[in-house]
């Protein structure tokens, strides 16, 4: 039983890794900074239909979680670190995001056109 579960687990991981490797090469990178529990810039414009990468730098002394319910993204960015977040190709529209640990101030939106 244990073996079967472990096998299923490994297969799941392998499938995701293979899928990652098979994906197309480097999409455009868009920098965004977290400072004083705020995003800068708070509004990001991207081309609709093209995947891109958010390069999130956290200049604060506390970790922050970049979260967008619409984009299905949740990613912790530790203090002083930079994380790359892949974002799928978007249909035209506005996609809000927040810093989950400081939701009152850390807010922004991605506008795909």
Where on the chain is the footprint of other proteins (CB under 8 A)? 1-2, 5, 8-9, 12-13, 16-17, 19-20, 23, 51, 61-65, 69-76, 78-79, 81, 83-89, 91, 98, 100-101, 103-104
Helices (H) and strands (E) in the chain, counts: 1, 9
Dihedrals φ, ψ of 10, to 5°? -65, -40
Min dist CB 68 to other proteins, Å, is 8
For residue 94, which phi and psi values (nearest 5 degrees)?
-110, 130
Q: How far is the CB of 78 from other proteins (least distance, A)?
A: 4
SS3 73: strand
Rounded to a whole number of angstroms, the minimum distance from the CB of residue 7 to other proteins is: 11
Helix (H) or strand (E) holding 87: strand 82-87
- Least distance CB 50 / other proteins (angstroms): 11
**Nearer to other proteins by C-beta: 45 or 69?**
69
Query: Is the dihedral angle over the CA atoms 10, 16, 22, 27 positive or is it negative?
Result: negative
Instruction: Using the minimum distance from each CB to other proteins, give the nearer residue, 25 or 91.
Output: 91
Which one, 44 or 87, has the nearer CB to other proteins? 87
């Amino acid at each position: 039983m244990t073996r079967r579960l472990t096998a299923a687990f490994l297969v799941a991981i392998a499938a995701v890794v293979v899928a990652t490797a098979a994906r197309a090469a480097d999409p455009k990178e868009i920098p965004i900074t977290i400072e004083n529990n705020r995003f800068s810039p708070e509004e990001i414009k991207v081309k609709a239909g093209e995947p891109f990468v958010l390069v999130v730098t956290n200049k604060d002394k506390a970790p922050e979680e970049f979260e967008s319910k619409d984009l299905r993204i949740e990613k912790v960015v530790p203090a002083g670190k930079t994380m790359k977040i892949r974002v799928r190709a978007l249909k035209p529209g506005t996609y809000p995001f927040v810093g989950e640990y400081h939701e009152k101030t850390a807010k922004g939106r991605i506008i795909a056109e």
